[in-house]
Amino acid sequence: MASVDMGKKSDRQSDRQPDKVTVLAESARAIMLLCVGGGAVAGWLVTLLADWLVTLEWAPLKGPAKLLTSIPEPGQTIGAIGVGALAGLLLGFIALHESLTVRVSDDRLVLTIRDEDQEFRRDEIALACRDGKQLVLLAPDAMEIARERCDLPWRRLAEAFAGHGYRWADEDPHRDEFRRWVPGTPGLPKGANALLRARAETLKKEDDASDARELRAELLRLGVVVRDEGGRQYWRMPRPS
């Protein structure tokens, strides 16, 4: 009798299904086709621009334009389209690397960007919301735990979060609490102004996105939430409940 009970228990365990995971990610094929196709078209347009520039008495980049037009056809057009397509291919790989993938299940959420995973337990997330083109996750104490640029369909994101029981909002409920940062802003924790000043410099350099992310993380450790808009920084500090 005991062996029968154990068998039934084993059958029940094998019938249990793992938590369903909803995965939202941009289409790699669509990104690559768009970038490669756009690059090829841009290369072809460059040949037309070069043909026009060499007819002008004075024009910027006239030297490179003459060099390009000195290549006989059809090599000129084929070469320009090929170079443009290769540039588009490189841009496509960069776009894929920078794109956000969201994996939602009933008990956890995983955000993947730049080949790095950020994993959050269900109880760590009080609210997921949209802030412009960014996906924001808020903790129960109103502190941000994630803020990532997101090009995924917002309706699908909202349905995925709601379908797994997470709270969702179409706008950050704390947006009106943000104040614009200027050097020497009073009321910030010690060291926050220095971090914001350093971050302002990194925002001027498009290739320093990783530094800006690291500085944002340092500010979060001080209890300061930061959002960017038009190259400017805005900050808030969650109020104790």
User: What are the 10-residue block averages of pLDDT along the chain, 241 residues in total?
Assistant: 40 49 85 86 85 73 73 85 88 78 95 89 96 95 93 95 96 94 92 94 76 92 93 88 51
pLDDT at 207: 58
- 86 and 37 housed in the same domain: yes
In a domain, 82, yes or no: yes
151 and 128 in a single domain? The answer is: yes
Question: Do residues 161 and 211 share a domain?
Answer: no
Nearest Cα residue to 135 out of 104, 94, 179, 163: 104
Range of the domain at 119: 101-169
Residue 5, in any domain of the structure: no
Question: What pLDDT is attached to residue 206?
Answer: 65
Pair (84, 142) in one structural domain: no
Domain boundary among 48, 72, 98: 98
Among the three residues 130, 147, 169, which one is the final residue of a domain in this structure? Answer: 169
For residue 165, what are the CA distances in angstroms to 110, 142, 153?
15, 19, 19
The one-letter amino acid code at 83 reads: V
Contact 212, 220 (CB under 8 A): no
**Domain final position from 46, 80, 98:** 98
For residue 65, being part of any structural domain is answered with yes
Cβ-Cβ contacts under 8 Å for 79 (sequence gap 6 or more): 71
CATH number at residue 126: 3.30.720
Cα distance between residue 108 and residue 166, in whole Å: 10
Residue 19 lies in a domain: no
User: Which residue in the block uniquely carries the two structure tokens 């334009």?
Assistant: 65
Please give the model's pTM, rounded to 2 decimal places. Answer: 0.74
For residues 35 and 92, membership in a common domain is answered with: yes
User: What is residue 219's three-state secondary structure?
Assistant: helix
Domain shared by 107 and 90, yes or no:
no
The answer to the question of residue 3 being in a domain is no
Sign of CA dihedral 101, 105, 220, 140: positive
> Distance (Å, rounded) from C-alpha 181 to C-alpha 196?
8
Spatial contact of 137 and 110, defined as CB atoms under 8 Å apart: no
Burial 179-196 (b: 16+ CB within 10 A, else e): eebeeeeeebeeebbebb
Q: Is residue 15 part of a domain?
A: no
Residue-level pLDDT at 28: 76
Tokens of 74: 């059809």
The reply to whether 160 and 206 lie within a common domain is: no
Residue 122 forms part of a structural domain:
yes
| Residues 84 and 145 reside in one and the same domain | no
Burial label, 168 (beta-carbon count in 10 A; 0-12, 13-18, 19+): middle
Residues 219 and 190 in one domain: yes
For the stretch 40-88, pLDDT in tens is: 898 888 888 877 777 777 767 667 777 777 888 888 888 888 988 898 8
Question: Same structural domain for residues 211 and 160?
Answer: no
Number of domains forming the structure of the chain: 3
Q: Is residue 75 part of a domain?
A: yes
Going along the chain, which residue ranges are E strands? Answer: 22-24, 101-104, 108-113, 116-121, 127-131, 134-138, 144-149, 168-169, 179-180, 225-229, 232-236
Rounded to whole angstroms, how far apart are CA atoms 172 and 229? 14
